[in-house]
Structure 1
Amino acid sequence: MNLDYLYQTGRLILRPYKSADLFPHLEAVTESLPELSQWLEWCGEGYNQHDANAWLTTSRVNWRSDICYELAIFDRFDNTFIGSVSLYDLQATSNSANVGYWIRSRYHRQGIASEAIKVICRLAFLSLELTRLDIVVHPNNIASQRTAMSCGARYEGLLRNKIMMRGIPMDGQLYSIIPSDTELIQEKLTFNS
């Protein structure tokens, strides 16, 4: 899919990562380590410029290869990097994907993750024509569970040993979104060139 994808909401800009996002991404991760490292295996105390560069490079390669679609999230008014939302683990047999997201700590509790998930739903359902999205959340991550429910996802149950966290299998709460769960404008997304 085209790396020139760009989507705007009333307060956000979402687009694929660019090389120029290296230091804003690193700064946001570093600022948010205490919160993020509890739930995201890739995010640990040693996260550095090399890791951030690998993240951005992999994100762009995955996008070009139609493996994973990750969008960097920015404040529309001051262009501050806020976080990421992604479609990953795309499954042709079930026409589905997983949704992942993280938001910079100082932007928590503002509905930004829910807003970004609604954008990724548009990409998934209208452009990629997927028919199901899964959100798998650690049972103790109450904030992410609330985010899933606030964007229209439905709770489906507890999945045993679904999440690997630092080599340890953990249970995961499963939420799903299908096209009829969302209030989407029925038009294809457009791309800036």
Structure 2
Amino acid sequence: MMTTNPTEFPSIQTDRLLLREIVATDANDLFAIHGDPELMRWFGTDPLKDIAAAHGLIKAFAGWRLQENPGVRWGIQIRGQPRLLGTCGLFRWDRNWRKSMLGYELAAQAQKQGVMLEAVSAALSWGFAHMELNRIEAQIHPDNHASLKLARRLGFVEEGRLRQAGYWRGEYHDLLQFSLLRGEWSPR
């Protein structure tokens, strides 16, 4: 279920999750995830150095809604529990080409519970329905086995390897390019 007022942040409820706007009070939870070098090893950026950087990330996510090629980043929480478990979102929205990128990350204590499958499924359905997307792309590090498994389970198709397409933690990284087309999507 999505909020119906177009001026509001598009919150989504699933059977057990709430996908909602990331706000300043989430900074500590966001820093616990984005500041953890182990959790960020595949994310594509260096870990955050301090809580001020977490506040900056919250502002950046909020700013996506104001850009020419915007996106939306949801905070993920268990319904009825205020703690932020991670985020997922659609960004680099190209309205003319009707495509967007997918990104996500999850706290260690919430992994291997189906949280990200449920959250990303809801985000994909919302993107195809409300952003009128035809194509959603994901770029995943070849060693990120959990993310590769998730993408394949959601129906994403591997299209090839982008050689040294990413740079973080002082190294270049290959990324695998995946896509999911509207006609291939079967909501979970």
TM norm. shorter chain > 0.5? yes
1:31-180 → structure 2 map (5 Å cutoff): 33-44=36-47, 47-65=49-67, 67-166=70-169, 168-180=171-183
Give, as a single letter, the amino acid of the residue that structure 1 aligns with 2:62: R
Change beyond 3 A, Cα 1:54–1:41 = same
* 1-structure distance, mates of 2:84, 2:163: 34
1:20-45 Cα deviation digits (max 9, x unpaired): 22223223444xx143231124342x
Give the corresponding residue for 1:15. 20
* 1-structure distance, mates of 2:95, 2:130: 15
Superposed CA RMSD = 2.1
Q: Contact 1:7–1:15 (CA<8 Å) still a contact in 2?
A: yes
How many angstroms does 1:163 deviate by?
A: 2.1
TM (norm. structure 2) is 0.86
Q: Contact 1:59–1:69 (CA<8 Å) still a contact in 2?
A: yes
Give the corresponding residue for 1:191. none
SS in structure 2 at match of 1:42 = coil
Query: Which ranges of structure 2 fall in alignment gaps of 5 or more residues?
Result: 1-5
* 1-structure distance, mates of 2:45, 2:176: 20
* Higher-RCO chain (CA-CA 8 Å, sequence separation at least 6): 1
How many angstroms does 1:164 deviate by?
A: 2.3
Change beyond 3 A, Cα 1:42–1:3 = farther
* 2-structure distance, mates of 1:130, 1:120: 12
Change beyond 3 A, Cα 1:144–1:124 = same
SS in structure 2 at match of 1:36 = coil
Q: Contact 2:46–2:169 (CA<8 Å) still a contact in 1?
A: no
* 2-structure distance, mates of 1:3, 1:22: 21
Query: Which ranges of structure 1 fall in alignment gaps of 5 or more residues?
Result: 186-193
1:63-91 Cα deviation digits (max 9, x unpaired): 24362211110111323211000111222
Q: Contact 1:115–1:151 (CA<8 Å) still a contact in 2?
A: no
* 1-structure distance, mates of 2:175, 2:119: 22
Same amino acid, percent of matched pairs: 23
SS in structure 1 at match of 2:85 = strand
Q: What count of residue pairs does the alignment treat as equivalent?
A: 182
* 1-structure distance, mates of 2:88, 2:126: 11
Q: Contact 2:64–2:91 (CA<8 Å) still a contact in 1?
A: no
Give the corresponding residue for 2:3. none
Give, as a single letter, the amino acid of the residue that structure 2 aligns with 1:135: A
How many angstroms does 1:49 deviate by?
A: 1.0
* 2-structure distance, mates of 1:50, 1:24: 13
Q: Does residue 1:24 correspond to 2:29, yes or no? A: yes
SS in structure 1 at match of 2:38 = helix
Q: Contact 1:3–1:63 (CA<8 Å) still a contact in 2?
A: no
